[in-house]
């Protein structure tokens, strides 16, 4: 149960899951680093 969203993770859209997912956040950070360093 996610109190802030008032639903379970299974009920979230893919976009909503990616906004709160630590894996998605890590992937975005890695992508930014790659773009910065290897263009």
18: in domain: yes
21: in domain: yes
| Domain count of the fold of the chain | 1
User: Sign of the CA dihedral 21, 8, 11, 7?
Assistant: negative
For residue 28, give Cα distances in angstroms to 6, 16, 20, 36, 37.
26, 15, 12, 12, 14
pTM metric for this prediction: 0.62
24: in domain: yes
pLDDT in tens, 10-38: 999 999 998 899 999 999 999 999 999 99
pLDDT bucket at 6, cuts 50 / 70 / 90 = very high
Domain that includes residue 20, residue range = 9-38
pLDDT(39) > 90: no
């Amino acid at each position: 149960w996610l109190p802030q969203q008032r639903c379970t993770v299974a009920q979230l859209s893919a976009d909503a899951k990616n906004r709160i997912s630590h894996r998605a956040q890590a992937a975005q950070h890695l992508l930014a680093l790659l773009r910065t360093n290897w263009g």
